[in-house]
Structure 1
Amino acid sequence: MNRNILALYLVKLSKWFSLVMPIIVLFYEKHGLGLHDVFVLKSVYSVAAVTLEIPSGYLADVWGRKKCLVSGCILFFIGYLVYSFTSSFTAFLGAELLLGIGQTLVNGADSALLYDTTVHYKRENEYLKYEGRITMIGNFAEAFAGIFGGLLAVYSLRFPFYAQACVAFIGIPAAFSLQEFNTKGKIQSPVTEIVRIIKYSLFTNRRLCCNIMYSGIIGAATLTMAWFVQPVLMHLDTPTSWFGVIWTVLNLTVGVAALYSDKIEHRLGMNKMNLLILVFIAGGYLALAYNLTYWGLAILLLFYIVRGFATPVLKGYINQLTFSDMRATVLSIRNFIIRLMFAGAAPFVGWLNDMYSLKTALLASAGIIFLPGIIFLVLSFEVNHKKEETEKTE
């Protein structure tokens, strides 16, 4: 078991030791791109992820989690090589496509393999603990990478990309060392099988549907905020050398919160936990919009605390409600929702920022998150209540 856990830690590290994230908006700006262009690039990434998200999850179920993880890590490495040696918007689009496909192959397969590993060793009750630790490692890695990325960027905005390609390579041997436990299915009619799983996840099993949709909305919200951090810092005229430090603090906060996610969930329970997450995530956008000063950094810190325990907890709920032979596909449906929402909303809020103001973009984001979030939260409460009533009568 420890072999797989360690390898998954390294795969997470290779993806999340992000030297480029704290300075990437500055990098784009140097090459003549506005925030709208930045969000277009990230939407292309998301479109690539959306297009292949569910098929890649099914591929992980029938072809193998390990093979998908290996392929994803290789594409991730190539994507950063392209970024390292090109300068045009078109080349950046190509790199985003490679990174999007690579990310899609890893998403779902990693959590599914982790859950399969805990089931194989009869320790599935510890899944949330390990998912929290992996989330913590990812965010700790991103946090400390922020310091190095910021320092490298002082000399050249290219240096973080060279180093990032080297870090991405670490995931390849780690993925090759993984041991697979899930019995892979036989590919007979992929389209029919994918449709069956989508129908089951989003229509037949209402409880699972509510959890997938709600988790997808919250995931899109936290992803969007990650891309607002640098515009907020630029709005405050923050020195470049501080970008990495602030990014580090925020991601350390996520890592610490993720480490305690299982304890917080156990204390609050599903309904209270979901309500708390929505209030703080949507409310974070609203509060930040009216506090675009250095006090707004405290709001970002609180937002990132909630982000830290939201990710492993919401994934855990989905894993508890699905079967092993479709687990990666179901998790990919969640990621599909995240990327679809981001791809649809990001260019719009980026346009609002460029045409009007950062405050307007943040307020619009709060509404885009809260309205569907509260709908699926209420539906989730109703489904859980009906389930409890049914269990009492049996």
Structure 2
Amino acid sequence: MQHSYSQNIYRLYIIKIAKWFMLTMPIIMLFYKDMGLTNEEAFQLKAIYSISIVIFEVPSGYLADILGRKVTLIIGAFLGTLGFVFYSFGEGFWMFLAAELTLGIGQSFVSGADSAMLFDSLKADGKSNKYLKYEGINFSVGNYSEALAGLAGGALAEISLHLPFYFQTGIAFLGIPAAITLLEPPVKSSRKKPRFKDILNVVHYALVKNNKLRWNLIYSSIIGTSTLTMAWVYQLKLHEFGFSELFIGGTATVLNLLVGTVTLFSSKLKNNMGSRVTVLSTSLLITGGFILAGLSSDALFFLPVLGIFYMARGIATPVLKDYINQITPSEIRATVLSVRSLLIRGIFAIVAPLFGWLSDELSLSQALWIIGLVFFTLSLSTVTLFLRTLKVRH
């Protein structure tokens, strides 16, 4: 009997919503401050979250290749719910640490497996050439979810900074039944038993043996880390300007609507602009955005800079992931995508505590432009090698 795997697309949308409808994201740094944590402690928690992903990211991606994408997505959805249970009923640095560890492990089981499930579902139906289109839609679903959640989370936080965490637990739970009802697509694989050596072999292939894939992963990870860092930083900057939780949540809504809208046109924009122009322009806008944000002392200047930054993110994320998918063998795709996430989280685990320390010791503005210079240097040192792996497209 021949199956159609198109139903998976809609279930993946639900998982994306459960994962990205983040009521807590636009106010979590304010929540930490309300609970008496310093900026350094707050960013330490986010670094711990990233470290837990670094530890489990590639093994979970490998398990997705061996045991199936469905199993790992179920595990990820369950842990994603449990982490918010800890946040809802706990308090203090150590309970938050347990929550971040749980959420990090859950994230690692979803990351990579969801994109691999999408690509392989389309491939099974003979539609792999439409991956960028559906990945763009999937990414937009996530950003529109995050957009709506920003305003809702800000409104709930006006009542109590704890309230968004209670609602978040229920939203995260929606991913569990969606994952359980996925249909596993056929994937070519000659491996029968999970072996740690195989994981190392894939990492070696992706980062050492395959030159083209290596620079795709490294450059994509630098840009990914930049966008991840800004997601936690801008709410502190807006709070410094004196804006309320509701305004900060509303800003998150506008930013993610921008990302979601731009992402829908990412494929056309890349084709019209060409690969090289797309990569260079988004790289400059993203890394330069940090520097300009750090130099801004006026909200009227900071907000447009933030908007442009998020628009560039909406183009860069699906385009860079598509480059990786197109040059990666199907049987190791989830593992390779997990390597990308591992690199992003690994870099962030170093950058986040540094940023927190700089913002406490110097100022938030100084920390922004210093980290911006770091990202600019990293992207500049790798973009040429990355561009050499691309065919010129007009």
Which TM-score bucket, shorter chain as reference? over 0.9
User: Are the aligned partners of 2:30 and 2:236 in contact in 1 as well (CA < 8 Å)?
Assistant: no
Distance, in Å, in 2 between the alignment partners of 1:382 and 1:185 is 32
Deviation (angstroms), 1:268: 2.2
Deviation (angstroms), 1:37: 0.8
Identify the match of residue 170 of structure 2 among 166, 176, 184: 166
- Greater shift in the superposed pair: 370-379 or 307-316: 370-379
Matched, 1:296 2:298: no
Matched, 1:112 2:116: yes
Tell me the SS of whatever aligns to 1:132: helix
Q: Which amino acid aligns with 1:345?
A: V
Matched, 1:311 2:320: no
User: Are the aligned partners of 1:265 and 1:273 in contact in 2 as well (CA < 8 Å)?
Assistant: yes
How many residues are aligned here? Answer: 386
Superposed, which structure 2 residues align to 1:1-394 within 5 Å?
Answer: 1-183=5-187, 186-188=191-193, 190-294=195-299, 295-384=301-390
Deviation (angstroms), 1:270: 2.2
Deviation (angstroms), 1:189: 5.6
Deviation (angstroms), 1:191: 1.8
Distance, in Å, in 1 between the alignment partners of 2:390 and 2:131 is 22
Deviation (angstroms), 1:2: 3.1
Deviation (angstroms), 1:382: 3.2
Distance, in Å, in 2 between the alignment partners of 1:36 and 1:182 is 46
State the 4+ residue runs in structure 1 displaced beyond 4 angstroms.
none
- Greater shift in the superposed pair: 82-91 or 265-274: 265-274
User: Are the aligned partners of 2:66 and 2:194 in contact in 1 as well (CA < 8 Å)?
Assistant: no
Q: Which amino acid aligns with 2:177?
A: P
Tell me the SS of whatever aligns to 1:292: coil
Distance, in Å, in 2 between the alignment partners of 1:370 and 1:351 is 20
Tell me the SS of whatever aligns to 1:370: helix
Distance, in Å, in 2 between the alignment partners of 1:130 and 1:298 is 29
**Cα deviation digits, residues 273-295 of structure 1 (max 9, x gap):** 21112111111111111113112
Distance, in Å, in 2 between the alignment partners of 1:202 and 1:146 is 36
Deviation (angstroms), 1:187: 4.2
List alignment gaps of at least 5 residues for structure 1: 389-394
What TM-score, normalized to structure 2? 0.96
User: Are the aligned partners of 1:182 and 1:324 in contact in 2 as well (CA < 8 Å)?
Assistant: no
CA RMSD of aligned residues (A): 1.3
Q: Which amino acid aligns with 1:266?
A: N
Distance, in Å, in 2 between the alignment partners of 1:382 and 1:103 is 32
Give the % identical residues.
44
Tell me the SS of whatever aligns to 2:365: helix
Distance, in Å, in 1 between the alignment partners of 2:205 and 2:245 is 49
Q: Which amino acid aligns with 2:81?
A: F
User: Are the aligned partners of 2:6 and 2:122 in contact in 1 as well (CA < 8 Å)?
Assistant: no
User: Are the aligned partners of 2:275 and 2:390 in contact in 1 as well (CA < 8 Å)?
Assistant: no
Tell me the SS of whatever aligns to 2:388: helix
Question: Structure 1 residues 148 and 383 mapped into 2: Cα distance closer, same or farther (>3 Å)?
Answer: closer
List alignment gaps of at least 5 residues for structure 2: none
